[in-house]
Amino acid sequence: MPGARGRDRRPADRTGASAARRRRPPHFARDGHPPRGNPAARAAPPDPQRPRRFPGATSQEKATLHMRLLDKIEPLLLLAAVGLGVALSGLPWIAAPAARLVSVFLACMLFGLFWEAPLRDIGRGFRNVRFTLTSLAVNFIWTPFFAWILMGAFMGDSPYLALGLLLLLVTPCTDWYLVFTGISRGNVPLSTAILPVNLIAQVALLPVYILVYSGVRGEISALLLAKSAVLTLAVPFALAKGIKLALAGRGRPAAIMEGLFARRQFAWLWLAVAAMFASERIFAGGYLSVFARITLPVLVFFAATFLVARAASRAARLDFPDSVSLTFTALARNSPLALAFAQRAFPENREVLLPLVIGPLLELPILALLSQVILAMGARAASRAARTTADP
């Protein structure tokens, strides 16, 4: 055809074109031939020892897992919410409305969290039996026991502050751990499959952990905890899933609900934190001292759990991507969900809430650092494997 490019002037085998496209190596261009440009890049295929960034992930998963600017600055934004709340706490006409709005904002955040929880994939979470059993053991046996040890070692004289630390540590994350799993070249689909399992388990076990491990179990009743769990967690869960099912197939209303709640979870959390600190001057007064007290046990938790997760991965004989998924499933915590539960269950003991607000400020930088450690470990392992293969 006149004016066509060189590749179009080649005789085409129309009968085998689609099959050839399916068989072409991934480092070839769309036309089935090596890419133009750098001769070295044209001649050499990708390093087979280098793992793919998101193995097995769909294009939609890849798009959502790249760490956005907002994810990187969330700790700073939460600090800004604390600062705004403290600044407004001196205004008498702010405190009462702010105290009432905290529960509203947290309910909206949980509605968005439950809206996007992929319950249809819950069966996938049990297909990799070794991974699932190891993850459940680390998250729901090791973590509560170790959190109880940290409570006694660091906060034995402050039972409600210790309770806040317990709530922070026993709730596995249901969102941003996927980001760090992808950054560290873990198995993102496997991490996504275990998400609904972790979500349902922590909702069911949270009152049990308080009754078994906390130092205030004699001051609260199992009925109160069960009622708080139902009102704070079960009701938003049922509403989110019911409304989503009712709007299935109705594109615009469903998109509006998703945009308002599912995609704005951090915005609702930000508003809840700001309202929380604006509601009481005394609440803001102890923030810095609590920050100092909670930092060391949180650091100890992340260091010990990282080592436990790596050891459990070796014991279960998980490959590198699956071991990365287990590591971040065990490390990342779900402080927003625990915060909503604590706000309902302990409205008169605001000291419980402080560790849950401080937690993300420490957690996100630690997870970012550990993701780089895991990448370096993976690179060293790949280099050793390459040398072993090359040696006669």
Condensed to tens digits (0 to 9), the pLDDT of residues 43-53 reads 333 333 334 44
Exposure string of 117-135, with b = 16+ CB inside 10 Å and e = fewer, is beeeebebbeebeebbebb
Per-residue pLDDT at 184 = 86
Phi, psi of 324 (to 5 degrees): -65, -45
The proportion of the chain whose per-residue pLDDT surpasses 70, expressed as a percent, equals 75
Between 346 and 304, residue with greater pLDDT: 304
Exposure string of 264-285, with b = 16+ CB inside 10 Å and e = fewer, is bbbbbbbbbbbbbbbbeeebbe
How far apart, in whole angstroms, are the C-alpha atoms of residue 117 and residue 289? 36
pLDDT in tens, 203-255: 889 888 988 887 666 566 677 778 777 887 788 888 888 998 888 877 788 88
Per-residue pLDDT at 385 = 74
Per-residue pLDDT at 344 = 82
| Two structure tokens written together for 373 | 């450690």
pLDDT of 169 over the 80 cut:
yes
What is the C-alpha radius of gyration for the chain, rounded to an integer number of angstroms? 25
Per-residue pLDDT at 144 = 94
Confidence tier at 300 by pLDDT (50, 70, 90): very high
Q: Cβ distance 258 to 115 under 8 Å?
A: yes
Phi, psi of 172 (to 5 degrees): -65, 145
Confidence tier at 316 by pLDDT (50, 70, 90): very high
pLDDT of 147 over the 60 cut:
yes
Confidence tier at 72 by pLDDT (50, 70, 90): low
- Give alpha helix (H) positions in the chain: 17-23, 39-43, 59-65, 69-88, 92-115, 129-137, 143-154, 159-169, 177-183, 188-213, 222-229, 235-246, 251-260, 265-279, 281-285, 287-315, 320-331, 335-345, 353-390
Q: What is the mean pLDDT of residues 145-174?
A: 90
Exposure string of 63-87, with b = 16+ CB inside 10 Å and e = fewer, is eebeeeeeeeebeebbeebbebbbe
pLDDT of 16 over the 60 cut:
no
Between 160 and 287, residue with greater pLDDT: 160
Least Cα distance to 340 among 177, 94, 103 occurs for 103
pLDDT of 69 over the 70 cut:
no
Least Cα distance to 213 among 159, 135, 157, 134 occurs for 159
Q: What is the mean pLDDT of residues 339-353?
A: 82
Per-residue pLDDT at 53 = 45
Least Cα distance to 109 among 234, 338, 265 occurs for 265
Confidence tier at 281 by pLDDT (50, 70, 90): low
| Two structure tokens written together for 22 | 């399916």
Q: Note the pTM of the prediction, 2 decimals.
A: 0.70
How far apart, in whole angstroms, are the C-alpha atoms of residue 37 and residue 27? 13
Round the average pLDDT of the chain to a whole number and report it: 77
Phi, psi of 55 (to 5 degrees): -60, 125
Q: What is the mean pLDDT of residues 263-276?
A: 86
Please tell me the least confidently modeled range out of 104-108, 169-173, 231-235, 266-270.
Answer: 231-235
| 74-380: in CATH 1.10.10.10 | no
DSSP-derived 3-state class of residue 334:
coil
Per-residue pLDDT at 241 = 86
Per-residue pLDDT at 263 = 83
Confidence tier at 288 by pLDDT (50, 70, 90): confident
How far apart, in whole angstroms, are the C-alpha atoms of residue 233 and residue 337? 8
Total residues found in the chain within this entry: 392
Q: What is the mean pLDDT of residues 161-182?
A: 87
Best-predicted range by mean pLDDT (122-126, 139-143, 355-359):
139-143
Per-residue pLDDT at 68 = 54
Q: Cβ distance 171 to 341 under 8 Å?
A: no
How far apart, in whole angstroms, are the C-alpha atoms of residue 325 and residue 172? 13
pLDDT in tens, 30-43: 333 444 444 333 33
Q: What is the mean pLDDT of residues 177-201?
A: 85
pLDDT of 23 over the 50 cut:
no
How far apart, in whole angstroms, are the C-alpha atoms of residue 124 and residue 194? 8
